[in-house]
Amino acid sequence: MEKKRILVIDDDEGVLKSMMRLLEFEGYDVDTAKTGKEAVQKSKLNFYNLALIDIRLPDMQGTELLTAMHDTVPRTVKIILTGFPSTGNAIDAVNKGADGYVTKPVIDTEAFLQKIKEHLRKQEGWDQFSEEKVAEFVKTRIKRQEAKENKQAETNANQ
């Protein structure tokens, strides 16, 4: 099974290192970025299953990065990390496409890891659903084409 890829975006080196250790220990392939611009560049070059985004970055707000990353990797699960929790931040994050909202420092690592696992399971469901829809679409198109060809052959035979 392919390792899930996670991008951690935070300007605090300590947060990056601790998140990287925790997530790699859990078996994830982890990459980091210190700025929104670096995160966007990396997301253009790589696919990440999940991104953990600090709400306050040196070059942009995490909520701005949500929008920018949605354009480059719309299927990536995006979770906002904040050391400044507020209802306003949470609402803004969800309205701009966040799939989750976590406060720093992460005290309950088990609950945090469970939240990540749940989001990744949902993503697998979306992917499976998408593959099934594509297969259904192809089958339908083939049936339509066969019916069209059969009707044309019948018309030609009756002439």
Instruction: Report residue 99's pLDDT band, with 50, 70 and 90 as the boundaries.
Output: confident
CA-based nearest residue to 116, from 42, 35, 49: 49
Distances (CA, A) of 153 to 67, 141, 142, 156: 52, 18, 16, 5
What are the structure tokens assigned to 151, written together?
A: 């009707």
State which residues form the domain around 105. Answer: 5-158
CATH code at position 137: 3.40.50.2300
CB contact set of 144 (below 8 Å; sequence gap of 6+): none
Instruction: Report residue 93's pLDDT band, with 50, 70 and 90 as the boundaries.
Output: confident
What are the structure tokens assigned to 52, written together?
A: 């953990």
The count of domains in the chain is: 1
d(CA 102, CA 100): 7
Q: Which helix (H) or strand (E) holds 125?
A: helix 109-158
- In tens, the pLDDT along 56-81 reads 999 998 888 988 887 666 678 999 98
Q: What is the pTM of this model?
A: 0.74
d(CA 146, CA 135): 16
- In tens, the pLDDT along 106-147 reads 889 999 999 999 989 887 765 555 566 666 667 677 777 877
What are the structure tokens assigned to 146, written together?
A: 């066969």
CA-based nearest residue to 96, from 65, 59, 138, 57: 65
CA-based nearest residue to 71, from 34, 36, 112: 36
The dihedrals phi and psi of 66, each to the nearest 5 degrees, come to: -55, -50
